[in-house]
Amino acid sequence: MKTLILSAIILLFGITSCNTGTKQNSTSSVTGNGTEQITAKAPSATASSTEGIIDSYIKLKNALTQDDDQDAAIAGKELIASLDSFDKSSLNEAQAKEYTDIYEDAREHAAHIGANAGNIKHQREHFETLSKDVYDLVKAVGGTQKLYYVNCPMYNDNKGANWLSEIKEIQNPYLGKQMPECGTVKEELN
């Protein structure tokens, strides 16, 4: 019986493979060359626009286009700070409700991306749903710059995936340098 319980526990830990754990709250990380770097710099004040969130998201997207898991992790942590510092007080009731719905989910995905330097495949899995969250946020609350909603039909065994881009030119964050130009603009957001 004891061994049964023990193996059940081991199995449970095995299933919890998404690694965020204690690492997600760390504000610094050691980079490849051994230098200490401040990664999650919290914006100094609360923000009433989505600009900070979009900036962090774009930084993350651009890191993934370059297959750069380290910069993606840094941007993921920065996105958490941007989400946390967003000030909901200027939103109307419907927007505030939408923001609350998006916030928890987006924060979770950003945390997994931040904690998974070294596993860009997993970062991209989280980036897919995160992109939907940021899209919904821009739709509900509004953005501060022109954005393009782009579809890659090939990602995830041709299931496809979307992302937001600040440029019209296609630079694919899912396939990276392997296939940078795969994708079509589906929608322009102002």
Q: Which residues bind Cu ion (CB under 5 A)?
A: 18, 112
* Residue 18 beta carbon to Cu ion: minimum distance, rounded to whole angstroms: 3
Burial class (CB in 10 A: 0-12, 13-18, 19+), 11: exposed
Please say which residue, 77 or 112, places its beta carbon nearer to Cu ion: 112
* Residue 91 beta carbon to Cu ion: minimum distance, rounded to whole angstroms: 29
Helix/strand/coil for 48: coil
Q: List C-alpha distances in Å: 138 to 9, 25, 66, 114.
A: 42, 26, 25, 22
Please say which residue, 125 or 148, places its beta carbon nearer to Cu ion: 125
* Residue 50 beta carbon to Cu ion: minimum distance, rounded to whole angstroms: 24
Question: Distance from CA of residue 101 to its chain's centroid?
Answer: 16
Please say which residue, 17 or 35, places its beta carbon nearer to Cu ion: 17
Please say which residue, 18 or 140, places its beta carbon nearer to Cu ion: 18
* Residue 150 beta carbon to Cu ion: minimum distance, rounded to whole angstroms: 23
Q: Report the alpha-carbon distance of residue 31 to residue 49 in Å, rounded.
A: 32
